[in-house]
A and B are shown apart, each in its own frame.
Chain A
């Protein structure tokens, strides 16, 4: 199969990750945190990376930024930022890229900010590092960035220290730091998980607005499908270090194909509909050191057959640039209840196709 051009026409991808693998050799075995992941990020678009803890999404982000310590960790594959493969750069060259052309914001703003430096100095530090200039200029840029992230009275705020700020404010400062040098790509690793839901709404709105203004590509890493639905254009679903599904966001929610994606959606309680029981996914996410050759989800999948345990499914296009790595989907296997894998069965009704969960329990008293 030839490689399709970006689905959005002539937009050249800002960031192209191809075959990225990151592993660690430890006393207990080889830990494959990222096991062959590829995706692209385009200008002005947000790519969502969804998965639960241990699926490798954070390590993917750190690998892209070359923040994984390489004595225990090792990489394979390429990460091209506008033509340059970041994997081949020296640490010195990479330092010029980080914070400058590609930035990252993290989940815990408190631990990501230096508690003994004022926030103005921390933002200015990034600016001076990449753009030079005098301290006064850099501080001016810091004030400007604080205005951009909607901190009232930025001239006063530059002198504040992280411990004086709330979680939402600190996250704004992180965003200001990340964007101070106009990066092409912003990686946001669970930026709102630690925040209250009303603050989360503000921060997501802020990122959306900034992206529209500055035109950067955003990689939004999260476990919250609601955040994905609201802020992403295209979504990658990861499980146990591998990409299992990728699609445009509307398409993904309309017809989730991979059994894990469907199970994930079915297990989330909804604000709009009611079910008696939430669908469960039996078992646990496999430890990264226990991954074998077959599909990582096989042990928990009700559609799994012998082939799934020995052979790893390849990603295939199921139409409309919606790719899935699943034999059941590719070959149209039937689930126990007669519904075919890949049929758009309403996951809101509590039925979960492709998941060996319990049937809705009639014995539960009505609420």
Chain B
């Protein structure tokens, strides 16, 4: 019933097709992540280097040179007041990057705090979530505008105004993660060996939440950059003299026919930044997904 041919594994091994080790698998598998990261880093470096790269003082008004197109002296041309668009653009990048990062960090931090409380303390769960639901019912940008109208305009208040509408989204995510993680066996085991609740949250729950939260944070950053630009465009963002892509585009709005470059360059940079952040977020989500990660 069985084959009586001696099976010599060494002979068979030579008959095997040769082993070709798969190379560059990780990089090939995560093009979005790499692309997004590279783009974002490039833009960030550009903005950080603003004091050294900018060819002119961004506030420098030169009425004689207004509305000039791109040239060797003004890479991106000049705006209606003769200010160098290139210099304003790279300084404006700072506003966007700082806003993006700050909103992401703040919204995530508060979201974690509130979300953990909601997830682990059943008595206040309903109360907290109803407040969050209420906040989410108001369109974010409107809420931000309303907040700005009662606060003195500055970068910090813009950041706060954008953060507040974003917190409920994070709270929801954290709460659902908390509810799942609460049921994990290793959390039960920690309880069984006498670990107190705060320590359980710190050692067992938080570290296992990080991955989806990081992904969420990148999307928050992208949205925040857009939100700041929108607020500045509408005139309720950063103060007018601080260069921001948003208010650059607002000022350029009236000069589309004669000076399209005023809107074009900040617009391109804005789009690239948001794109890069979204790509990064997508890429991170795929890279950190444990199910996908297990594939060869």
* Distance between Cα atoms of A172 and B49 in the complex (Å): 70
Contact A36 B9 (CB under 8 A): yes
**Of the candidates A4, A74, A76, which one forms a contact with B1 in the assembled complex, judged by CB atoms under 8 Å apart?**
A4
Binds A, one of B14-22, B96-104, B168-176: B14-22
Binds B, one of A21-29, A146-154, A262-270: A21-29
Q: Which residues from 4 to 47 on chain A have a C-beta closer than 8 Å to any C-beta of chain B?
A: 4, 6-7, 13, 18-19, 21, 23-27, 29-30, 35-36, 38-40, 42
Q: Which residues from 230 to 284 on chain B have a C-beta closer than 8 Å to any C-beta of chain A?
A: none
Q: Which residues from 191 to 231 on chain A have a C-beta closer than 8 Å to any C-beta of chain B?
A: none
**Of the candidates A25, A30, A36, A39, which one forms a contact with B2 in the assembled complex, judged by CB atoms under 8 Å apart?**
A39
Proximity string of chain A (232-267) to chain B, C-beta cutoff 8 Å, 1 when within and 0 when not: 001000000011001000000000000000000000
Q: B12 — which chain A residues lie within 8 A by C-beta? A: 19, 21, 36
**Of the candidates A7, A26, A312, which one forms a contact with B22 in the assembled complex, judged by CB atoms under 8 Å apart?**
A26
In the complex, B7 has a CB within 8 A of chain A: yes
Contact A314 B6 (CB under 8 A): yes
In the complex, B3 has a CB within 8 A of chain A: yes
In the complex, B10 has a CB within 8 A of chain A: yes
Contact B10 A311 (CB under 8 A): yes
From DSSP, what is the main secondary structure of chain A's interface residues?
Answer: strand
* Distance between Cα atoms of A234 and B2 in the complex (Å): 11
Q: Which residues from 1 to 39 on chain B have a C-beta closer than 8 Å to any C-beta of chain A?
A: 1-10, 12-13, 15-17, 19-22, 25
When A36-B12, A311-B10 are in contact, do A25 and B4 touch as well, CB less than 8 Å? no
Taking the nearest CB of chain B, how far is it from the CB of A327, in angstroms?
13
Contact B4 A3 (CB under 8 A): yes
Q: How many residues of A contact B (CB 8 A)?
A: 40
Q: Which residue of A lies closest to B22 (CB)?
A: A27
Q: A4 — which chain B residues lie within 8 A by C-beta? A: 1, 4
**Of the candidates A42, A234, A242, A293, which one forms a contact with B13 in the assembled complex, judged by CB atoms under 8 Å apart?**
A293
In the complex, A88 has a CB within 8 A of chain B: no
When A35-B9, A293-B10, A314-B8 are in contact, do A19 and B3 touch as well, CB less than 8 Å? yes
Question: Which of B1, B17, B25 is the most central at the interface, judged by chain A CB atoms within 10 Å of its CB?
Answer: B1
Q: Which residue of B lies closest to A243 (CB)?
A: B2
Taking the nearest CB of chain A, how far is it from the CB of B223, in angstroms?
35
Q: B5 — which chain A residues lie within 8 A by C-beta? A: 1, 3
Q: Which residue of A lies closest to B10 (CB)?
A: A293
Taking the nearest CB of chain B, how far is it from the CB of A44, in angstroms?
14
* Distance between Cα atoms of A246 and B1 in the complex (Å): 10
Q: Which residue of B lies closest to A323 (CB)?
A: B2
Taking the nearest CB of chain B, how far is it from the CB of A266, in angstroms?
25
Contact B1 A315 (CB under 8 A): no
Contact A38 B22 (CB under 8 A): no
In the complex, A317 has a CB within 8 A of chain B: yes
When A25-B21, A27-B25, A36-B12 are in contact, do A1 and B4 touch as well, CB less than 8 Å? yes
Q: A6 — which chain B residues lie within 8 A by C-beta? A: 1
Contact A40 B25 (CB under 8 A): no
Q: A321 — which chain B residues lie within 8 A by C-beta? A: 1-2
Q: A363 — which chain B residues lie within 8 A by C-beta? A: none
Contact B1 A7 (CB under 8 A): yes
Q: Which residues from 167 to 202 on chain B have a C-beta closer than 8 Å to any C-beta of chain A?
A: none
In the complex, A2 has a CB within 8 A of chain B: yes
Q: B20 — which chain A residues lie within 8 A by C-beta? A: 25
Q: B10 — which chain A residues lie within 8 A by C-beta? A: 293, 311-312
In the complex, B292 has a CB within 8 A of chain A: no
* Distance between Cα atoms of A256 and B134 in the complex (Å): 72
Q: Which residues from 33 to 66 on chain B have a C-beta closer than 8 Å to any C-beta of chain A?
A: none
Q: A283 — which chain B residues lie within 8 A by C-beta? A: none
Q: B17 — which chain A residues lie within 8 A by C-beta? A: 74
In the complex, A83 has a CB within 8 A of chain B: no
Taking the nearest CB of chain A, how far is it from the CB of B178, in angstroms?
27
Contact B2 A27 (CB under 8 A): no
Q: Which residue of A lies closest to B12 (CB)?
A: A36
In the complex, B72 has a CB within 8 A of chain A: no
When A25-B19, A25-B22, A30-B19 are in contact, do A312 and B8 touch as well, CB less than 8 Å? yes
Q: A21 — which chain B residues lie within 8 A by C-beta? A: 12
Q: Which residue of B lies closest to A40 (CB)?
A: B1
Q: Which residue of B lies closest to A310 (CB)?
A: B10
In the complex, A72 has a CB within 8 A of chain B: yes
When A246-B2, A321-B2 are in contact, do A27 and B8 touch as well, CB less than 8 Å? no
Q: Which residues from 307 to 334 on chain A have a C-beta closer than 8 Å to any C-beta of chain B?
A: 311-312, 314-317, 321, 323, 325
Q: Which residue of B lies closest to A24 (CB)?
A: B296
Q: B19 — which chain A residues lie within 8 A by C-beta? A: 25, 29-30
* Distance between Cα atoms of A3 and B6 in the complex (Å): 11
Q: A19 — which chain B residues lie within 8 A by C-beta? A: 3, 7, 12
Q: A76-B16, A243-B2, A312-B8 are in contact. List 4 more A-B contacts (CB 8 A).
A: A7-B1, A18-B3, A36-B12, A293-B13
Using CB atoms and an 8 Å cutoff, list the residues of chain B in contact with chain A.
1-10, 12-13, 15-17, 19-22, 25, 296
Q: List 22 A-B contacts (CB under 8 A).
A: A4-B4, A7-B1, A19-B3, A25-B19, A29-B19, A29-B21, A30-B16, A36-B7, A36-B12, A38-B7, A39-B1, A76-B16, A234-B1, A242-B9, A246-B1, A293-B13, A311-B10, A312-B7, A314-B8, A315-B4, A315-B6, A323-B4
Report, nearest first, the 4 A-B pairs whose CB atoms are least far apart: A314-B6, A1-B4, A312-B9, A38-B3
